[in-house]
Amino acid sequence: MPTRRRFLASLGGHAAAASVLNTIPTRWNTAISTARELSETPGSPIDVATDEEFWFEIQNAFTIDRSLVNLNNGGVSPTPEHVLEAMKRDLDFANQFPVYNGWQILEPQREGVRARLAREWGVDTEEIAITRNASEGLQIMQMGYDLERGDEVVTTTQDYGRMVTTFKQRERREGIVLKQFQIPIPAEDPAEIVRLFEEQITDRTRMILMCHMINITGQILPVREVVEMARGYDIPVVIDGAHSLAHFDFKISDLGCDNYAVSLHKWLHAPIGTGLLYVKKEEIPNIWPLQAAAETRDDDIRKFEETGTHPEANFLAIGEALTFHQLIGGARKEARLVYLRNYWAERLLEHDRIHLNTSLEPGFAAGIANVQIKGIETSALRNWLWDKHKIFTVAINHAEFTGLRVSPSTYSTLEELDRFVDAMTHAVKHGITA
């Protein structure tokens, strides 16, 4: 088996392995020394999903408070300890001489991260912009297309609130028309979803916004099929991939889409304030950046990265997070997240008052699910879980449904999910006042 030093050297990135060894904590050294062996663990993704020895090593990469149970990794995930240490190291290095160390040494290294992200998800390096989050990437797309008064934009009633707000501002400012429509909860017929999108199209439709995975239920929508349908009408489709990339296993190139925006601080475990925007080469000249770029950059993906002075450390640490993701393996991560979801959901479904707003059928969801206890107000249940049991979930009170969004992650333990199941079972049997 490779020595720890050789393994760290094989991670690549922008720092020498010796420097890493001098700065990362001993606890991570112990875990990372077996990482390659874990990455070569035999068995199918489903087999590895239930191998608690494998996931123990992954759990040990994080420094989190185990007295609390975080089931809101769909909001933002902790970052592995060694990824944070890499970011801190680069912050310190930049601060020694910012105008040189930051701009001349660290800034160019962004290109290596860009190339690795493109390679991992099957697209061209010149089609990847590194952003601060999915909202930034999506707003580049939403604000980047020219629209006129009366032009229509189509999306569902379940799309992310911030992105709906973006189009509502364009309604107020420019007189465009935002059309929202309902889809089934859960949705298990891709053809029906395509049909519902197509029914909204008129001769005034200029853009479609859709989620790959809906944040409030974990529902996976048929992106490729909707994109193909819309292409027949020459209508661009803006894809919200905030919860999808590094969550379940796919390539952006598989989707046939022209753009894709992601938050990397969710399922890739990159530092907070990191994101990715894919734009197909042919589409780049057609989209205005949020912040002005020189005309010479009209067809350059980097025009979408114009934000003024910024720290590079966060962006460079994406590379360390990507390596961590690759050591786990995308298919194995997806299988584990599905296993964790089913671990708690199937046990709770033994009770008649439990209702899932998320499909457990393969391909329609992954690690995120939405659960309701009939007869108990969702926000009150959320508060009781936190106040009484220190379990953090998200209350979703949508016009069409209500329930707790539950999103464990790779570092979550079965014992933590047992705590959640026990608390929910108590609430079913005895209420939340006992």
Predicted local confidence at residue 43, as pLDDT: 84
Partners of 279 in the β-ladder? 259
As a whole number, mean pLDDT of residues 100-129 equals 97
Taking a C-beta distance cutoff of 8 angstroms, is the pair 31, 61 a contact?
A: yes
For residues 47 and 367, the answer to whether their CB atoms sit within 8 Å is no
Per-residue tokens: 70? 């975080």
The pLDDT value given to residue 42:
72
Averaged pLDDT of the chain: 92
Decide if pLDDT at 7 tops 90: no
Q: 3-state DSSP call for residue 11?
A: coil
Would you give the DSSP letter of residue 220? Answer: B
- The tens digit of pLDDT for each residue in 278-297 reads 999 999 999 999 999 999 99
Give the N- to C-terminal CA distance of the chain in Å, as an integer: 54
User: pLDDT tens digit string along 406-423?
Assistant: 999 999 999 999 999 999
Predicted pLDDT at 155: 98
Query: Domains along the chain?
Result: 105-321 (3.40.640.10), 332-430 (3.90.1150.10)
Pairing of strands 354-356, 128-131: unpaired
Asked if the model's pLDDT at residue 92 lies above 70, the reply is yes
Distance, in Å, from the CA atom of 73 to the CA atom of 85, rounded to the nearest integer, reads: 21
Q: In angstroms, rounded to a whole number, what is the distance separating the alpha carbons of residues 166 and 176? A: 12
For 65-93, what is the mean pLDDT? 97
By residue count, the chain amounts to 434
Q: How far is CA 269 from the centre of its chain?
A: 9
Torsion on CA atoms 165, 169, 172, 175, rounded to nearest 10: -100
| pLDDT at residue 37, rounded to an integer | 59
Report pLDDT for 303.
Answer: 98
In which band, very low, low, confident or very high, does the pLDDT at 35 lie, cut at 50, 70 and 90?
low
Checking if the pLDDT of 360 tops 50, the result is: yes
Task: Say what percent of the chain tops pLDDT 70.
Answer: 90
- What tens digit of pLDDT does each residue of 371-407 get? 999 999 999 999 999 999 999 999 999 999 999 999 9
Nearest-10 crossing angle of helices 223-231, 190-199? 30
* pTM of the predicted model as reported, rounded to 2 decimal places: 0.90
Q: What is the mean pLDDT of residues 70-83?
A: 97
**Average pLDDT over every residue of 349-372:** 98
Beta-strand runs (E) in 280-413: 354-356, 369-373, 391-392, 394-397, 402-406
Tens digit of pLDDT for each residue in 293-324? 999 999 999 999 999 999 899 999 999 999 99
pLDDT at res. 33: 52
pLDDT at 328 over 90: yes
User: What is the spatial distance between Cα 411 and Cα 395, in angstroms, rounded to a whole number?
Assistant: 22
| Mean pLDDT, residues 45-68 | 96
Percentage of the chain lying above the pLDDT 90 cut? 89
CA distances from 43 to 18, 38, 48, 323, 414 (A): 33, 11, 6, 21, 21
Residue 36: which pLDDT band, with cuts at 50, 70 and 90?
Answer: low
Beta bridge partners of 70: 392
Lowest mean pLDDT among 29-33, 46-50, 223-227, 335-339: 29-33
Q: Are 369 and 341 in contact (CB under 8 A)?
A: yes
Does the structure show a pLDDT above 60 at 30? Answer: no
Residue 39: the pLDDT is 58
Q: For 242-288, what is each residue's pLDDT tens digit? A: 999 999 999 999 999 999 999 999 999 999 999 999 999 999 999 99
